A and B are shown apart, each in its own frame.
Chain A
């Protein structure tokens, strides 16, 4: 996992602020049985908790996956929170599929980076909580 440097107190506070209006972002869940469901995500914490894509569960038709287009996530983090380092780290992950020509392969590789991206978010959240002295809930 890419090492993230310790964020400033100001950034940590921003990352833990609940959002409203235009800053809310849409993510979605899916499983082979009940289809795809959209969710509005109102905070960085919620995003870190929400994302989860178990590749085995996809192949086995078991369980639900929680997904966001990594590029949408990257932009959300860059533009809403101004966390350039985290956004860059996510962008780096997307390199594995950016040049895929086959749309299914592209999609599967896209799914495969969600959990590594989640780890980045969780790590950032822990850093924020350490700085602000709160307990991690994720």
Chain B
């Protein structure tokens, strides 16, 4: 078997039993998310349970391409029933970078499946083939960094300093490495069942969305550590090296001169902004760093150690609140240590301050903020205290640990806040992102389970519009649209998929409520389920639709994906075949959501999304007056009735019953999912 190691660790925390699953049994799902969802479907018998239920099954999956020289794929996909989404906490996913995935493969595992719940705190120790469940009593409540350090110490037997070769299992023959264990750790928030608790690896890689920190807390699982000294079998190392060298020559960051001029920069690729998404403060010496084998390192480490491995979004925890950039970054480090999801809490603390300013929240007020004194809001110590009360569920912290949406509900404020956009959370209790005018973002999130967090289209739009150099170099809107849609197999060459017309009379013909848009959303959902979440090509760098460094601005997609896959796996996988497997995975996920209660009637945006509001950033392409053009659409919002009609088009395209949004038997059976259709039928939920 190439790429895959061939086995997945199956760990039951209730019975403390450890077994294996043969990866070959699930190979048709590709890897990563696909295999994780298929295993979840088989092992989680009742999909309607709460995320905190011990019967919840959590999968932690690598990619078949990880642990090799393949660029950006050494990422890890975490899945299971979450605790964050609202009103139903959907089966969901989160993804993180760093070293974990590559290390898991080096230890000989394609993934880890966690079942049951321990009766007292535990951590899982994987040293090559050996998997053990260890006592974590002394680690419970510890922050994510201290936990990792303590586990490094324990795995190294207290004597290893990790600056040199060491014997991982006590003898040279059992394997040697220069690496320290890769640890995925829960923080004090997750230990205390916070719905905004997240899992953190190294300094700043994290599985944030979904509330997996809280889920692990309910399983009394503090950390998973892995150290491996093996390797991944690659079918054709020379071709893999050729792909890698081609990318390196043409596109990798020059670490000696990590500056990129806008007119030559990659388009649709944040990664090439290497380390620049988080510029240094006060010229503090720092260097770029990235996930294993990336090639487009987008993070940085600083001399002081502040903000190591964190990224732009992490800085939002306490931004715009009067702190210096340096203090904002210190606040981010506090957040990483607490293991708290920045996307849930950055809007949350800002909204609490709004309520405070209005006199509705504060010590002794209608919403009693004790022990938080919001007059101190603009201080670093307050940012720290805010996290502390959340982690300990002290006073108002008990509500904060339930996440912003549930807290708002408890405080009687949810409806008002979602009407006024005081809470900018358009769907399922997840915060807005590039939701508008990039409608694939909000549509995809609503048809799915979470904020999709996929920049496939927003990066190229951003760059094409804002990088004036590109427009000078001839990237007209028409060429842009043609080049992107040309790669969107099997719907290639339907240029109207990228018509963002929303109020010019074309919106239902070719624009955002049209069948063309339904195809675009379907392509995006299917594509990312396979190439991004199963193969795990990083969202920062893939797909690369267009690229200013190449002749004719040709991006490296699908050349890079197809050739990397073939070189490692020893077999062909066309871009289109991958998208089709993604369709199967998407339908499986959809079926799980249906069992959990998904229905057309609840696939609705928050009310504010239908009102006009000002969203100044993000150019899109529109077809108007018989020509393509870039356009700013700062007032775009969604017409509720037209969106309902669009849903019918989308469900029909996907082969789902348009009355319910549930997959039909023929759709599922065509995808080889008969047993899924049978289970939906038993639940009375077949479309």
Contacts and interface: CB of A to CB of B under 8 A. Distances in A.
Interface of A: 20-21, 24, 26, 28-40, 42, 46, 49-50, 56-64, 66-67, 69, 103-104, 106-108
16 contacts: A29-B319, A30-B617, A30-B618, A32-B270, A34-B312, A39-B350, A40-B350, A42-B357, A59-B466, A61-B277, A62-B276, A62-B279, A63-B276, A63-B278, A64-B312, A104-B619
A31 B433 contact: no
Contacts of A31: 277, 312
A57 B466 CA distance: 10
B578 interface: no
B463 A61 contact: yes
A36 B465 contact: no
B332 to A, nearest CB: 13
Nearest to B458: A32
A56 B276 CA distance: 11
B616 A28 contact: yes
B616 A36 contact: yes
Contact of B279 (A38, A49, A57, A69): A57
Contacts of B466: 58-59, 108
A50 B320 contact: yes
A37 B422 CA distance: 11
A107 B465 CA distance: 10
B297 to A, nearest CB: 14
Interface in B251-292: 260, 262, 265, 270, 273, 276-279
B459 A32 contact: yes
A61 B265 contact: yes
Interface of B: 260, 262, 265, 270, 273, 276-279, 311-313, 315-316, 319-320, 322, 346-347, 350, 354, 357-358, 421, 424, 432-435, 455, 458-459, 462-463, 465-469, 614-619, 630-634
Contacts of B434: 35-36
Nearest to B614: A69
Dominant SS among interface residues on chain A: mixed
Contact of A107 (B278, B320, B455, B632): B632
Instruction: Kindly list the 3 A-B residue pairs having the minimum CB-CB distance in the complex, ordered from nearest.
Output: A62-B276, A59-B262, A34-B313
A64 B354 contact: no
A104 B631 contact: yes
Given A59-B467, A61-B463, A107-B632, A35 B619 contact: no
A53 B594 CA distance: 45
Given A61-B276, A62-B276, A67-B616, A104 B630 contact: yes
Contacts of B277: 31, 33, 61-63
A37 B316 contact: yes
B319 A64 contact: yes
B320 A66 contact: yes
B316 A33 contact: no
Contact of A32 (B320, B322, B455): B455
